[in-house]
Chains A and B, each alone.
Chain A
């Protein structure tokens, strides 16, 4: 692009350099991985994307951990004409709060995922068939180990920061405990130190929807050429309800009827029904049911205090050395601000550096993916501080 003020780009057919074009890569790991469950994976693959340039000192790397349905495609687009940017494109990219002009950002699809990393829908090399139900349950700790191996592969000993929202934030927390020297900063966003009974209950309803779908076939539906769509749809619809706030849902949909009148039947009538069904359908077409089960189970099991004798988060966080930025959202009831304050308290109890912000936002748990001036300015300011420290 021209450096000086240029006339409108009428004749300029050159590619738009402001677009971040990225190609997914695959890392294959041949050394066996013993999981928390005791099961062993002899080998596995992780698909990942990188943005920006790793500096000579390899000190500007940022790892982005994804949430329940996320993946490695964090930012940018896959081609010039790709209309669908990565899931956190408003946060990460050139000149964005996490500036890929300064940082080398890595996004990966977690083990067990369905977007290219080895998971239940992958072919098991030992049988030549999809793993299906035989794919082992993985935990947040397992993910952290595989992410650490990917970092080793890329020659990164210490991340400038590890960033994640929701289930991603839990991975950040686990990193800070299991590998305290491998991250300087931890950005824990819209997370919780462990799920409540209510959270687990929501997850189990979602799982039951999938497990009881006749097309599930005990997890080996691939062989039958079917997908447990009904179960996945319901699981996703339920999820969406919990990601939004009552107010946001009311404001967006209210009691609006599609045809303006009651039809006295069970077809789609209210706009909210239409929205949820659309979201459910979209998800059922693109997401693997076994991966959904596995991700929700990883959420349920996450509890960094589990191995700790006294079960206190403060004692568990004694291991951490990173500096923290913890962010919550006012209307998030899935992982409410009080859950983030539990994390903050544990960090304060250990005299760790921490800043905490509660963003006033209408969108509930989903707010962590939305563009909000205070939220984004805060992350930008924090990231600039990381640059200054280096």
Chain B
């Protein structure tokens, strides 16, 4: 479900900066474990990944990471409340079936949650829609017919979602490539990352 590994994951650095050294981290949809490995190496995080794909489970074990094979859409019943400092979900939210449940579960299991997703409101995406096509970009690398992404949203949508549920946004970083976008983020930013907690 993660983006292709050839794309540099600038959101990793953002996420890593938010994770206090030595934290207990649960990385949902951890893919081949690249982010988790990064957090383990650079932040001495004590982490577990959650993944569903067999190949990714194997890749994580090869990296020496802790990984639990589990369908995220089935919830996080195997994890106790408040058992992690951070629960992260990077570039996976848009492919989840039950978004509300997943966010609620993240905020139950984690003291804080970190969510990163491609911004559908990015101007290049808007242009493609205006030209009559579903957007395809480095952050949305799929065609409409083979995309795993079923719940795309914009920066504005996600913030409204949080506001409606009393979820507190602690920090937000919107990026375009390596650059952080401060001005008109919902138009100029291709990826958004949020640090959130229960309100």
Task: Determine the distance from Cα of A358 to Cα of B54 in the docked complex, in whole angstroms.
Answer: 9
Q: Mark B55-69, 1 if CB is under 8 A from A, else 0.
A: 001101110111111
Instruction: Verify A354–B66 contact, CB threshold 8 A.
Output: yes
Task: Determine the distance from Cα of A173 to Cα of B46 in the docked complex, in whole angstroms.
Answer: 23
| B78 interface residue per 8 A CB criterion | yes
Q: How far is the CB of A324 from chain B (nearest CB, A)?
A: 9
Q: How far is the CB of A113 from chain B (nearest CB, A)?
A: 33
Task: Determine the distance from Cα of A384 to Cα of B61 in the docked complex, in whole angstroms.
Answer: 10
Output the nearest chain B residue to A345 by Cβ-Cβ distance.
Answer: B78
Instruction: Verify B78–A355 contact, CB threshold 8 A.
Output: no
Instruction: Verify A348–B83 contact, CB threshold 8 A.
Output: yes
Instruction: Verify B48–A381 contact, CB threshold 8 A.
Output: no
Q: Mark A352-381, 1 if CB is under 8 A from B, else 0.
A: 011111101000000000000010011001
A357 surroundings in chain B (CB, below 8 A):
54, 57, 61, 69
| B79 interface residue per 8 A CB criterion | yes
Instruction: Verify B66–A355 contact, CB threshold 8 A.
Output: yes
Interface residue ranges of A300-349 to B (CB < 8 Å): 325, 341, 344-345, 348-349
B78 surroundings in chain A (CB, below 8 A):
341, 344-345, 348
Output the nearest chain A residue to B52 by Cβ-Cβ distance.
Answer: A358
A381 surroundings in chain B (CB, below 8 A):
58, 61-62
Query: Beyond A345-B78, A348-B78, A348-B79, is A378–B57 a contact (Cβ under 8 Å)?
Result: yes
Q: How far is the CB of B49 from chain A (nearest CB, A)?
A: 9
| A224 interface residue per 8 A CB criterion | no
| B108 interface residue per 8 A CB criterion | no
Q: A345, A348, A382, A388: which contacts B61 (Cβ < 8 A)?
A: A382
A377 surroundings in chain B (CB, below 8 A):
58
| A351 interface residue per 8 A CB criterion | yes
Q: How far is the CB of B191 from chain A (nearest CB, A)?
A: 29
Q: B24, B67, B79: which contacts A355 (Cβ < 8 A)?
A: B67
Output the nearest chain B residue to A382 by Cβ-Cβ distance.
Answer: B61
Instruction: Verify B54–A356 contact, CB threshold 8 A.
Output: no
Output the nearest chain B residue to A323 by Cβ-Cβ distance.
Answer: B66
Output the nearest chain B residue to A385 by Cβ-Cβ distance.
Answer: B64
Instruction: Verify B64–A388 contact, CB threshold 8 A.
Output: yes
Instruction: Verify B66–A374 contact, CB threshold 8 A.
Output: no
Instruction: Verify A355–B61 contact, CB threshold 8 A.
Output: yes
19 more A-B contacts (CB under 8 A) besides A345-B78, A355-B60? A344-B78, A348-B78, A348-B80, A349-B80, A349-B83, A354-B48, A354-B68, A355-B57, A355-B65, A355-B66, A356-B67, A356-B68, A357-B54, A357-B61, A357-B69, A374-B57, A384-B62, A385-B61, A385-B62
Instruction: Verify A351–B61 contact, CB threshold 8 A.
Output: no
Task: Determine the distance from Cα of A366 to Cα of B48 in the docked complex, in whole angstroms.
Answer: 29
Q: How far is the CB of A372 from chain B (nearest CB, A)?
A: 10
A341 surroundings in chain B (CB, below 8 A):
78
Instruction: Verify B68–A374 contact, CB threshold 8 A.
Output: no
Task: Determine the distance from Cα of A33 to Cα of B64 in the docked complex, in whole angstroms.
Answer: 40
Q: Can you show 8 pairs from A to B with CB atoms below 8 A apart?
A: A344-B68, A355-B68, A356-B67, A357-B57, A358-B69, A382-B61, A385-B61, A388-B64
Q: How far is the CB of B29 from chain A (nearest CB, A)?
A: 16
Q: How far is the CB of B34 from chain A (nearest CB, A)?
A: 16
Q: How far is the CB of A117 from chain B (nearest CB, A)?
A: 34
Task: Determine the distance from Cα of A121 to Cα of B48 in the docked complex, in whole angstroms.
Answer: 48
Instruction: Verify B61–A378 contact, CB threshold 8 A.
Output: yes
